[in-house]
Structure 1
Amino acid sequence: MGEKKRKENYEPQFVFDKRNYKFMLIGVAFIALGFILMTGGGSDDPNVFNPEIYNWRRIRLAPAMVLLGFAIEVYAILLKPDSKEEN
């Protein structure tokens, strides 16, 4: 009898809240944007050097976006869920 009552009152709980998942998606978007910004700048001919590969966007901005995305991911994981009273 007690086990049946306990199973009826059982509600599965997610590890993260909706807010955590929002931050995780924002972090993934930053990481993806960083990798997209890193693309390009190559040369079609391997004998010709293209200095565009050392562009500010590829050397500074894109890695910073990726690192910021990873930092947002860590924040999303460590974000404390709203406290709920269980009485």
Structure 2
Amino acid sequence: MKNTTNNTPTEQTGNQEALPFGKSNYTLMIVGIVLIFAGFFIMTLDKEEFGFGFLGITLGPAIAFIGFIFQFYTIFKKK
């Protein structure tokens, strides 16, 4: 029996699907990751005992939370 499909390399590359996100999505994902790391870094800067100062218990977690929300927005944003 003869194989009727012609799987040349040029046809295979034309049939591949595009990336799931656009360039702007990937850029925004990097910004979100930077916000998350910045929030955790700010938490380490607190000089109070057990991190119970303003940086460790308020500002750092708020910035990290904003970074996570930003990531969710970026994932669900259309191209």
Bin for the TM-score computed over the shorter chain: 0.7 to 0.9
TM-score normalized by structure 2? 0.75
Q: Which amino acid aligns with 1:80?
A: K
In the alignment, structure 1 segments of 5+ residues that lack a partner are 43-49, 82-87
Could you tell me how far 1:55 is from its partner in structure 2?
A: 1.6
Aligned counterparts, 1:1-87, within 5 A: 3=6, 7=11, 9-41=14-46, 51=49, 53-81=51-79
Question: What secondary structure does 1:72 align onto?
Answer: helix
Query: Which fold has the larger relative contact order, with Cα–Cα distance below 8 Å and residues 6 or more apart in sequence?
Result: 1
How big is each residue's C-alpha offset from its partner over 1:26-46, in whole Å with a ceiling of 9 and x where there is no partner? Answer: 10000000000011446xxxx
- Displacement, 1:25? 0.5
Classify the secondary structure of the residue corresponding to 1:64: helix
8 Å CA contact 2:43–2:51 kept in 1: the answer is: no
Give the AA of the match of 1:55: G
**Structure 1 vs Structure 2 CA RMSD:** 2.6
Instruction: Report the equivalent of 1:45.
Output: none
Q: CA deviation at 1:2?
A: 7.2
**Unmatched 5+ stretches in structure 2:** none
Residue 53 of structure 1: CA displacement?
2.9
The amino acid that maps onto 1:63 is P
